[in-house]
Structure 1
Amino acid sequence: MRYVIIGAGAIGGAIGGRLHLAGHDVVLVARGAHYAALRDKGLRLTTRDGVHELTIPVVDGPESIELTHDDVLILAVKTQAATAALDAWAARPVSKAEPRRAVGAGPHPASGAGPRRAVGGGATAAEVLPLICAQNGVESERIALRRFRRVYGMCVWLPATFLVPGEITTHSAPYTGALSVGRYPSGADETVERIAADLASANFLAPVRTDVMRWKYAKLVSNLANAVEAICGSGAGVEEQTLIARARAEAVAVLDKAGIERVPADEEQALRKGRVSFGPNDGSRGGGSSWQDLRRGNGSIEVDYLTGEIVLLGRLHDVPTPVNETLQRVANEFARERRAPGSMTGAELTTLIDG
């Protein structure tokens, strides 16, 4: 298998870098300054076990790579960018390929063509290639299934930071992260078993889940802290913690009313306890994914598919969600106005919610 990482940011870069370190065939997909840095200098992956300078093939889009039937696409862009990415990749032709060089035979050209030569084909990526949604939220799988036949969900617990082009830092030990994977909407197959084995070889906890969306809905509830952290900063005080608890309570009410099952918190926490954990805080991770969206100042944030998912379900099932509605609105305002993360206090945000 060759892993094509669509979106080599914090999550995609960490997964791709670790797979590469484990000897797997990887191509990173990036844009702009990040693409240029990866092309010219390689990926600098900092982990709890050291700094790794990695030369990994990188491309700037689907037109720059030849896909073959042994490719696996890992979608790691934020959900707000998923539709455009999927549309760009779905119609790409997929060729058959001659046997590849042995792993460890040296880097192949940065064009991303890989150590194989196409010998014919006719199918498209959407028809034949497995696509893994390695994202927060629960919407990307539905977006993907409209376009791709073989969709897999991944519940991502992988604390990582991407603020400087070409540089990714992960923060967990002894495992880099927990990546539960399964077929979407449910089930498992030989492909996902092979993917999980490859991820396990790359220092990830990677259990196969026949009910992967139950895990992703549990993660969604946890991710409701992201908007509060982005708006108020990463050093959550009592007021911020209270807002997070209120947002999660709304989510529980909404999900219960909608009849949506999720893994109990104790079961989810048991997976990571003692295995995916932060070390001493050296200040290298200022905040989570939404905080990093604002810190990079690119005008986009994933809030519509986190707190916004709870707002949507609340409206569908007639459950009030005033905390999540306000978090969604304010976080989007921060992104559009390119306001710095943490530039509103918890007290000010509470006043906006309660009037």
Structure 2
Amino acid sequence: MRYIVIGAGAVGGTIGARLHQGGHDVLLVARGAHYEALKRDGLRLITPESTETLDIPAADGPVPAREDDVLILATKSQDTVSALAGWPSDLPVACAQNGVANERMVLRRFDRVYGICVWLPAQHLEPGVVAAYGHPYSGLLHVGRYPQGVDDLAERIAGDLGKHGLVGLTQTDVMRWKHGKLLSNLGNAVEALVGHAPGREKVVEAARAEARALLDRAGITYSTPEEEASLRGNQVDVRHIEGIVRGGGSSWQSLARGSGSIEADYLNGEIVLLGRLHGVPTPVNEVLRREANTFAQEKRPPGSMPLETLQALIDGRCAA
């Protein structure tokens, strides 16, 4: 079986590297300077324990498919549809992405869709280079068939992921875990906007409280932080990597790279959408969604908004 990792950035690059190290056939799909670096020099994977350069085949778009191909989609959600253009719709697709909208989008075109809930602290800021901070494992990945269940392929994907440097688990209710991860990811926009400003936790918790109330109202179940901590234990502890500063999560990295887009529409925006469907205002997540998109479009540096400014914008929206 060949794993084609579409979006070989922080998460996709780490997954592809670990599958390759586990003896699996892997193809990395990337764009621009990152693709050129992968093709020319290979993937440089840096972890708390080691630095390795891995000679993994790379492509910048669809290649002739094989019957045993499995697509692992690791792009940001806003790139999901375009990233899958040109790939045969009879291939299975596993969505190793934040948010909960990707599987549904993919299912419109692909018959076999799998969700992967990703706990994998990593960073990709330099072409050809991925830093994975998890120790002793780089990440823990839940795999399940979408919308629910576990089949033979889900079992095999989880088993293959767990062969080297990752923990792979199967979950019959993988979207429940992904909704729990969505709640934690609502803080991504806060970090991207104000960095690690003291007191930012108040805004993060307000966004999550708004979201939990809506998920409960909609009857959508989600994993809790306590469940997640119990399952993860000390398997994916974040460790310092000598010579590399860990700036922030995926949204922070999007701004740092000046990519021009950010995932907020599918994180905070998922809560905004749910609120509109149920007639419930979501002022905190709406401000975070709007401001994060503005930062990305205007290519502002991460962490450059004062916390007081963000709080004033939220207070104004709440009072409107």
Same fold (TM over 0.5): yes
Task: Give 1:23's aligned residue.
Answer: 23
User: Which of 263, 281, 284 lines up with 1:320 in the alignment?
Assistant: 281
1:344 equivalent in alignment to 2:315: no
Contact 1:5 1:76 in 2 (8 A): yes
Q: Residue type of the partner of 1:67? A: A
Give the Cα separation in 1 of the matches to 2:231 and 2:256: 30
Contact 1:253 1:319 in 2 (8 A): no
User: Which of 241, 249, 264 lines up with 2:224 in the alignment?
Assistant: 264
* TM-superposed deviation, 1:281: 6.8
Give the Cα separation in 1 of the matches to 2:108 and 2:41: 37
Find the residue that maps to 1:311 and give its secondary structure. Answer: helix
Q: Percent identity?
A: 58
Give the Cα separation in 2 of the matches to 1:57 and 1:24: 12
Name stretches of at least 5 consecutive residues in structure 1 with no aligned partner: 90-124
Name stretches of at least 5 consecutive residues in structure 2 with no aligned partner: none
C-alpha RMSD of matched pairs (Å)? 1.0
Give the Cα separation in 1 of the matches to 2:51 and 2:240: 17
Q: Name segments (4+ residues, structure 1) moved above 6 Å.
A: none
Contact 2:121 2:132 in 1 (8 A): yes
* TM-superposed deviation, 1:246: 0.2
* TM-superposed deviation, 1:236: 3.9
* TM-superposed deviation, 1:67: 1.1
Task: Give 1:131's aligned residue.
Answer: 93
1:88 equivalent in alignment to 2:63: no
Task: Give 2:291's aligned residue.
Answer: 330
| TM-score (normalised: structure 1) | 0.87
Task: Give 2:42's aligned residue.
Answer: 42
Q: Residue type of the partner of 1:201? A: K
Task: Give 1:255's aligned residue.
Answer: 215
* TM-superposed deviation, 1:88: 2.7
| TM-score (normalised: structure 2) | 0.96
Q: Residue type of the partner of 2:28? A: L
Task: Give 1:100's aligned residue.
Answer: none
Find the residue that maps to 1:352 and give its secondary structure. Answer: helix
* TM-superposed deviation, 1:272: 1.5
Give the alignment of 1:196-345 within 5 angstroms. 196-233=158-195, 235-238=196-199, 240-280=200-240, 284-345=245-306
Find the residue that maps to 1:207 and give its secondary structure. Answer: strand
Q: Residue type of the partner of 1:353? A: I
Give the Cα separation in 2 of the matches to 1:284 and 1:126: 40
Give the Cα separation in 1 of the matches to 2:74 and 2:102: 10
* TM-superposed deviation, 1:205: 1.4
* TM-superposed deviation, 1:301: 0.3
1:189 equivalent in alignment to 2:151: yes
Give the Cα separation in 1 of the matches to 2:164 and 2:27: 15
Give the Cα separation in 2 of the matches to 1:48 and 1:85: 31
Contact 1:2 1:24 in 2 (8 A): yes
1:157 equivalent in alignment to 2:155: no
* TM-superposed deviation, 1:9: 0.6
Contact 1:214 1:262 in 2 (8 A): yes
Find the residue that maps to 2:140 and give its secondary structure. Answer: strand
Give the Cα separation in 2 of the matches to 1:39 and 1:204: 24
Contact 1:156 1:178 in 2 (8 A): yes
Give the Cα separation in 1 of the matches to 2:206 and 2:312: 14
Contact 1:29 1:58 in 2 (8 A): yes
Task: Give 1:3's aligned residue.
Answer: 3
Find the residue that maps to 2:150 and give its secondary structure. Answer: coil
Q: Residue type of the partner of 1:78? A: K
Deviation per residue, 1:71-90 (Å, 9 max, x gap):
1100111000001112332x
Give the Cα separation in 1 of the matches to 2:85 and 2:29: 15
Find the residue that maps to 1:67 and give its secondary structure. Answer: coil
Contact 2:133 2:240 in 1 (8 A): no
